[in-house]
Amino acid sequence: QVQLVESGGGLVQAGGSLRLSCVVSGNIFVPEAMAWYRQIPEKERELVAATTRDSITNYADSVKGRFFISRDNAKNMGYLQMNSLKPEDTAVYYCNAEIRGPHGGVFSYWGQGTQVTVSS
């Protein structure tokens, strides 16, 4: 069974940095895409950054130039480097992976989320 586990969240002052990690297990194929989303209470989950298997990336406008997504296919890991953090970056951050199934199709998997809190 495919599982995603995030780590690296925490409390940081504005202007600081955090690095989130996501380990994928139980998959046969390398994820087609990996992404990070975030969510605050009573708001919809929003895409923060995404990367394809070939490391083509895209970012939400609000994080461009501050956040950087990467992945290590050999280690089955994804990362989100977050710099120059702002209080409005406070949210639960979720890792997402789209992985091809053994019998076809592509399935979307989510981690349990990790809290990031940025104090002013």
Which regions of the chain are under pLDDT 70? none
Match 């002052």 to its residue by tokens: 13
Q: What is the pLDDT of residue 34?
A: 97
Q: What is the pLDDT of residue 37?
A: 98
- Locate 100 and state its tokens: 């091809």
Q: What is the pLDDT of residue 9?
A: 97
Q: What is the pLDDT of residue 82?
A: 98
Q: What pLDDT digit, counting tens, does each position of 51-67 carry? A: 998 889 999 999 999 99
Match 């919809």 to its residue by tokens: 44
Handedness of CA 70, 5, 67, 47 (dihedral sign): positive
- pLDDT above 90: percentage of residues in the chain: 89
- How many angstroms separate the CA atoms of 6 and 63, rounded? 19
Q: What is the pLDDT of residue 28?
A: 84
